[in-house]
């Protein structure tokens, strides 16, 4: 097998892994990878604002609002007025949301993070350089992308 085929097969495996995880997540808890990440962020912080989520995920506040709206409809989070600053709305995880986190498969992204962090610094740098080069080869350097392993749009149609 030549190097071109080997590189295309590796890319295809990455795409399939993210797609399969997305399907498994949707089947087990009924959420997309992006919705699940928002749920995790809220649970990790006990509560947070849409601005905090947007900053952490590097996505727009409008996208966060859309994702939170879906989580509210699923009963996974609730919005409440802040007791300290009535102008702010905080997002809290419900018992159903906490249960979804427990029931969900091991997130692909967290598997990646664990294994990436175990690499030596030089290996991490080389991997980032290679991935950035691949993105450039696919003319994808300018695409807006959050640090969420998912093949679909972060902001899904309602």
**Which CATH number does 3-137 carry?**
1.10.10.10
Question: Hunting for tokens 């969900």 — which residue is that?
Answer: 104
Question: Hunting for tokens 């091991």 — which residue is that?
Answer: 106
pLDDT value at residue 27: 86
Residue from 148, 115, 151, 145 nearest 20 by CA: 151
Instruction: Please check the confidence at residue 22 and state whether its pLDDT lies above 60.
Output: yes
CA–CA distance from 113 to each of 108, 109, 118 (Å)?
9, 6, 9
3-state secondary structure of 148: coil
Q: Which residues contact 109 (CB under 8 A, 6 or more apart)?
A: 33, 37, 147, 148, 149
Could you read off the pLDDT of 106-149 as tens digits, one per residue?
777 788 888 999 999 999 999 999 988 988 888 877 766 666 66
Contact predicate 21/33, CB 8 Å? yes
d(CA 39, CA 126): 32
Under the banding of pLDDT at 50, 70 and 90, the label for residue 157 is very low
pLDDT value at residue 158: 42
Among 19-23, 36-40, 101-105, 145-149, whose mean pLDDT is lowest? 145-149
Record the pTM: 0.74
pLDDT value at residue 123: 96
Domain range annotation of the chain: 3-137
Partner residues linked to 81 by β-bridges: 89
Could you read off the pLDDT of 38-91 as tens digits, one per residue?
999 999 988 899 999 999 888 888 889 999 999 999 999 999 987 887 788 999
């Amino acid at each position: 097998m030549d190097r071109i085929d080997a590189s295309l097969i590796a890319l295809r495996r990455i795409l399939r892994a993210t797609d399969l995880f997305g399907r498994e997540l949707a089947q087990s808890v009924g959420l997309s990878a992006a919705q699940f990440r928002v749920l995790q962020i809220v649970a990790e912080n006990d509560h947070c604002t849409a601005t905090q989520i947007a900053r952490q995920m590097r996505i727009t506040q409008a996208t966060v609002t859309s994702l939170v709206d879906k989580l509210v409809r699923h009963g996974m989070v609730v919005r409440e007025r802040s007791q300290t600053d009535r102008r702010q709305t905080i997002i809290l995880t419900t018992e159903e949301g906490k249960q979804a986190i427990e029931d969900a498969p091991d997130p692909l992204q967290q598997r990646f993070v664990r294994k990436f962090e175990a690499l030596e610094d030089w290996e991490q740098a080389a991997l980032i350089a290679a991935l950035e080069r691949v993105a450039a080869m696919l003319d994808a350097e300018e695409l807006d992308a959050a640090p969420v392993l998912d093949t679909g749009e972060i902001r899904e149609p309602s």
